[in-house]
Homo-oligomer: A and B are copies of this chain.
């Protein structure tokens, strides 16, 4: 019998916790009624969690609550976090991995603190020089992964190569039937374009590219992020964060304008009756909750960060992502890719 997938959830992290966390879990349980290959461990205030569980009528025997009194606050700074966040629900949900009680940890709490304590508790993989934050990005062909989204302001070519190997492994774990195509984000597609760091990484990746791990597609520009030609897009944490937030801001700007245009007079409001289902499908297609969950890569265990402000549907998608990642053997894929890398060095 295969070992069960155990997901350690910080039930107290994020807005409206633990309500939205448990509601998200409920969606996950309902969608996986036929599955018995997982366990969910909930870290946090037992009473509050039990209250939500009973109000939703959850009776699953696949969940377990591990009580913790303390919670990491949103105001906590990463500087003091190590001292003051011990034995919080977040801390214990990450620590569960080194105690052998979980395969992956999920929190919607304070991002800075989660990154710091995850790194402290799980430690960096010896093959990796810097950890990275990877995110899911919609594309014409489905979904891509993009990293680094902000864990490292400054990177070198070695980091970008590590990110490529880890990003390709992540993509493979989520989409086992797909071939990872890696590209470096740049301001032009010609080999001579970009910073020295990018040019060096380009040469290394061209050499490492092979079907077993990934195929290297060269450079892509910002406007190609969503084309789907490449599904693993690599950049430093500063650029990745700017790109991510610019895309979010652009989407919000457009959707707000569309809403305003479609409701500004009685005639356009009337038209909404007719286009309701089309617009709903459009909204569903670009729903950011489907992409909720950033994956912290490069540690001796995976940690997923959900948006703090997402709702139960967004949180469900993060749980589902954790499940897929472990089912797809992310850590095995990463080790495989990094070994291949080291063998070449």
Contact = CB atoms under 8 A, between A and B. Distances in A.
A125 interface: no
B262 A278 contact: yes
Contacts of A224: 245, 249
Given A253-B140, A274-B275, A275-B274, A261 B285 contact: yes
A84 interface: no
A261 B239 contact: no
B277 A267 contact: yes
Given A225-B249, A274-B274, A275-B274, A187 B242 contact: yes
A264 B275 CA distance: 11
Contact of A187 (B238, B249, B262, B270): B238
Given A239-B242, A268-B275, A274-B267, A187 B254 contact: no
Q: How many chain copies does the complex carry?
A: 2
Contacts of A277: 267-268
A274 B270 contact: yes
A1 interface: no
A100 to B, nearest CB: 36
Interface in A81-107: none
A153 interface: yes
A245 B222 contact: yes
Contact of A247 (B185, B237, B247, B286): B247
A159 to B, nearest CB: 15
18 contacts: A138-B253, A140-B253, A153-B187, A154-B195, A194-B238, A222-B242, A223-B246, A225-B249, A226-B253, A238-B239, A239-B242, A242-B243, A243-B243, A254-B255, A261-B285, A268-B278, A271-B271, A272-B275
